[in-house]
Chain A
Amino acid sequence: MANLGLCLAIAGAALAALLSGMGSAKGVGMVGEAAAGLISEDPSKFTKVLILEILPGTQGLYGFITAIMVMIKIKLLSGAPVELTWGQGLQVFAACLPIAIVGYFSAIRQAKVAAAGVSVVAKKPDQQSKAMVLSAMVETYAVLALLISILFILRLNF
């Protein structure tokens, strides 16, 4: 297979967007459900819970950024992709794994903390910032995974 390298690179980019997007969709859905429960009783808390709902959505964005960077790196967007050996393709695939896997799991974990945060907002609206900080702590690991993926992609030589 002459294009195996390119296929692997595209598969890596797709995986980064897919898994982190799935995690984010699941996470935002979970927090959204909790937020809807609170709003059904107290609509005035909409803006407070909206921020919590957005938090698990960032992983999907990180996956998207990684996929775009891979596409730029292999010149897929210009319509004339570079020739990649299967080894080079595998390198790109491996570079996408951190954000793909960490993105998926961290989005769901972050959603659980954010959903718990909705309960905090329900009972103590003035403590919303603490609920956000707790949820944002999980974000750290998604950011680290994104950094590693980007550094790998930028440092690949071809």
Chain B
Amino acid sequence: MKNKDYLFAVAAIRANELSLLKESDLEQLINAPDYKKAVSMLGEKGYDLPAGNNYSKMLDNELEKTWQKINESAPEADALKTFIVKNDFQNLKAILKSEMTKNDAKQFFVSPCIYDAEKMLESISERKFEELPELIADTAKKAYDTIVKTGNGQLCDIIIDTAALEAILSFASESNDDTLIEYAQQFCLLTNVKTAYRSVKTNKNQTFLEMAVAENSLVDKKQFIEEALKGENELFEFLGQKGFSKLKEAFEKGTSSFEKYCDDESIRIMKKAKMTVFGISPLAGYYVARETEIKCLRIILSAKLSGVSNDVIRERMRELYV
């Protein structure tokens, strides 16, 4: 696909960007006296009102609608699978875990995703791994065998997470779009950091880390593992030299602070797409913008339901695209 082939889609998406929520909109929602008022304010912004307290389903639908809109306007949106393929692997995790625990996997399915999760569930339930999509099949079989033979859920997660990161990097590199590639590389690195940090805290060995850490072009995998094995301070010092000086601070403040850091770094990369007219990156930027907006709404609505203070909500707000 040539960059000029996205002219229609980019212009359509630019018009849609006008309806993205701004910081002032989020501030109004945070200041809403209660959940009901916040939901009604969201209704004024074009969101469908959720039934009862089930805002989660409503927000899932909004993201699904965004994905459909982008797909309908773009002549070809394979590269955008960079942003949703993680959901397919997340669904795979849910299916495998439910196979072991005999729970209903459907309640843990996330969307939008590339493949029909219910079909995947059917194939895995019947142990017909060959019927799974090519991208998922090998990983699913390997993860299933691992969990059946060893009963080690963590190992199973690592197999799936590593495969997900490889898929993300692969879709991004096929797009030949610098913004998408940068996003995918950084996403991969930050996921590696999360894995390495947890591994160091639980005294995992080098073999484990070599399996759990995915290759990416931002840092050398071997050196990354070496530093991680020395300890968290050494790892953060190493990453600081690579331009991630605020990582340590974010990690020290806790998991939610680190998640915020990851989202903010991602949106900063995607903001470059605001200045782009041709190519797929403006569409990607819009998807990430909506994803971030919906994440913020989830935080606000959940906090309103549980009575969390406005200051805490503000601390957790992500940087927005617009």
Contact of A115 among B7, B9, B17, B18 (CB under 8 A): B7
A38-B7 contact, Cβ under 8 Å, with A115-B277, A116-B277, A119-B277: no
**Are the CB atoms of B14 and A30 closer together than 8 Å?**
no
Q: For B255, list chain A residues within 8 Å (CB).
A: none
B42 at the A interface (CB under 8 A) = no
Q: Is B8 on the interface with A (CB-CB < 8 A)?
A: yes
- Could you give, for residues 66-95 of chain B, a 1 whenever the CB lies within 8 Å of some chain A CB and a 0 otherwise? 000000010000000000000000000000
Among B14, B18, B277, B278, chain A packs the most CB atoms within 10 A around the CB of B14
Q: How distant is the Cα of A34 from the Cα of B7 in the complex, in angstroms? A: 5
- Contact present for B10 and A123 (CB under 8 Å): no
B1-32 contacts to A, CB under 8 A, are: 4, 7-18
B276: shortest Cβ distance to chain A, in Å? 9
Q: Which residues of B contact A42 (CB under 8 A)?
A: 15
Give bound CA distance, A31 to B94, whole Å: 46
- The answer for the CA separation of A122 and B10 in the assembled complex, in Å, is 10
- Chain A residues with CB below 8 A from B13, complex form: 37
Q: Contacts A115-B277, A116-B277; is A38 near B4 (CB within 8 Å)?
A: no
User: How many of chain A's residues have a CB under 8 angstroms from any CB in B?
Assistant: 18
- In the assembled complex, the Cα of A35 lies from the Cα of B10 at a distance in Å of 10
Residue contact B16 to A36, C-beta cutoff 8 Å: no
Chain B interface category by residue count: 10 to 19
Mask of B111-144 contacts with A, CB within 8 angstroms, 1/0: 0000000000000000000000000000000000
**Interface on chain B toward A: helix, strand, loop, or mixed SS?**
helix
Question: If A30-B4, A116-B277, A119-B277 touch, does A41 touch B10 (CB 8 Å cutoff)?
Answer: no
CB distance from B82 to the nearest CB of A (A): 22
Residues of A within 8 A of B (CB): 30, 33-38, 40-42, 45, 112, 115-116, 118-119, 122-123
**A44 → chain B closest CB, angstroms:** 10
12 A-B pairs in the complex with CB atoms less than 8 angstroms apart: A34-B7, A37-B9, A37-B73, A40-B73, A41-B12, A112-B277, A118-B11, A118-B14, A119-B10, A119-B11, A119-B277, A122-B17
Q: Report how far A118 CA is from B278 CA in the complex, Å.
A: 12
Compute how far the CA of A122 lies from the CA of B15 in the bound complex, rounded to whole angstroms.
5
Given contacts A42-B15, A118-B14, A123-B18, 14 further A-B contacts (CB under 8 A): A33-B8, A34-B7, A36-B8, A37-B9, A37-B11, A37-B12, A37-B73, A38-B14, A41-B16, A112-B277, A116-B277, A118-B11, A119-B11, A123-B17
User: Hey, which chain A residues are within 8 Å of B4, CB to CB?
Assistant: 30
Whole-angstrom CA separation of A36 from B15 in the bound complex: 11
Considering the chains assembled together, what is the distance between the CA atoms of A118 and B11 in angstroms?
7
| Contact A41 B15, CB 8 Å, known A116-B277, A119-B277 | yes
Please tell me if the beta carbons of B11 and A38 are within 8 angstroms of each other in the complex: yes
Pick the contact of A123: B7, B14, B278 (CB < 8 A).
Answer: B14
